[in-house]
Amino acid sequence: MSSPVLFTLASLIWGSTFWAITLQLGEVPPSVSVVYRFALASSVLFIICIGRGFKLQLPWRTQKWLMLQGMATFGLSYICTYQAEEVVVSGLVAVLFALMVFWTPLLGRVFYGTPIAPRTWGAGAVATGGVALLFYHSIGTAWRDVQAGGSGHFLLGVVLALVATIASSAGSIVVAKVREQSGNVMLTTAWSMFWGTLMVAIYAVVTGQRFMLPPTASYTLGLLYLSIFGSVIAFLAYFTLINRIGPHKAVYIGVITPVLSVLLSIKLEHYRPGPVEFLGMILCLASVAWALRAPAAAKPVQAATLNNATETP
């Protein structure tokens, strides 16, 4: 496939995965749905690795980092994302995930001492203002509901979505350690998904969540789409793009993804943003695009972010 086709394919798939998650919400506990999704996705990736003649075994020192990455990227992040989308429109969750462009440099600064470009700080400040506008009315309504004795589930959903983005960014930071051990992205992704699946499965069992067969055809179709298209095909398209056009161009998929997600929410979830919300979204996405054009010193961290987390969810 040509590079424009691959770019479009990855953007369309990842732009629709946030809405596709809503097809899995309801009867099946969120954590169990996460287990189903990545058990299938990691199995497919392992099969592809075997077909390509890769040796599946990796040293224990590599597996330790993959466990940590899996726990953050494919464990905590997805549990929080699925639970957040039970009460927050999927398109809004997608916009919050675009802010990973800022979380990852901040975590890189904390753990590795990586300098942050001034433009990234400025873009982060603009994005924060955009998020405030995006959720201004919804949070205000939810807060008044809490004061009147309501549940405040929406506020919890926003917090969970933010935790999900930070967890994905933390997983992306661990990638630097993984790459020191192995350059086989497909194999390390398969193992990372496997460890994340195992950890979520243990959490689901310990907390007494019930494993059940997919209850509807829409759930099954959503599961297959998220596992095969969202977690395998889009990744392969993205990795191919990185090799052809470089990570700093391919990473702009992370700007297009939330735009498509919001459009799907408007069409399929009856989301009706007002002028303030639209302004907030524009500020968020414009700031992300601005940050991605930061000087070369800041680019490696940002590229690593979406190399492993653009797919989220």
Q: What is the pLDDT along the chain (313 residues), one digit of tens a residue?
A: 788 888 889 889 988 999 999 999 988 999 999 999 999 999 999 999 999 999 999 999 999 999 999 999 899 999 999 999 999 999 889 888 877 877 878 888 888 787 887 887 888 888 888 888 888 888 888 888 888 777 778 889 999 999 999 998 888 788 778 878 888 888 998 999 999 999 999 999 999 999 988 878 999 999 999 999 998 898 788 767 766 776 556 667 777 888 888 889 999 888 888 898 889 888 888 887 777 664 544 444 444 443 444 445 7
CB atoms < 10 A from the CB of 205, how many? 13
Q: How many domains would you assign to the chain?
A: 1
Residue-wise pLDDT tens digits, 247-288: 556 667 777 888 888 889 999 888 888 898 889 888 888 887
Q: Which residue, 102, 101, 94, is CA-closest to 312?
A: 94
Predicted TM-score of the model (pTM): 0.85
Domain span at 108: 3-309
3-state secondary structure of 168: helix
DSSP string, 38-87: HHHHHHHHHHHHHHTT------HHHHHHHHHHIIIIIIIHHHHHHHHTTT
Cα→Cα distances 154→28, 32, 92, 132, 189, Å: 20, 22, 12, 15, 32
Residue-wise pLDDT tens digits, 291-312: 766 454 444 444 444 344 444 5
Phi-psi region of 209 (alpha: psi -120 to 50; beta: other; left: phi over 0): beta
CB atoms < 10 A from the CB of 204, how many? 20
Q: Which residue, 31, 24, 35, 58, is CA-closest to 194?
A: 35
Distance of alpha carbon 129 from alpha carbon 144, whole angstroms: 22
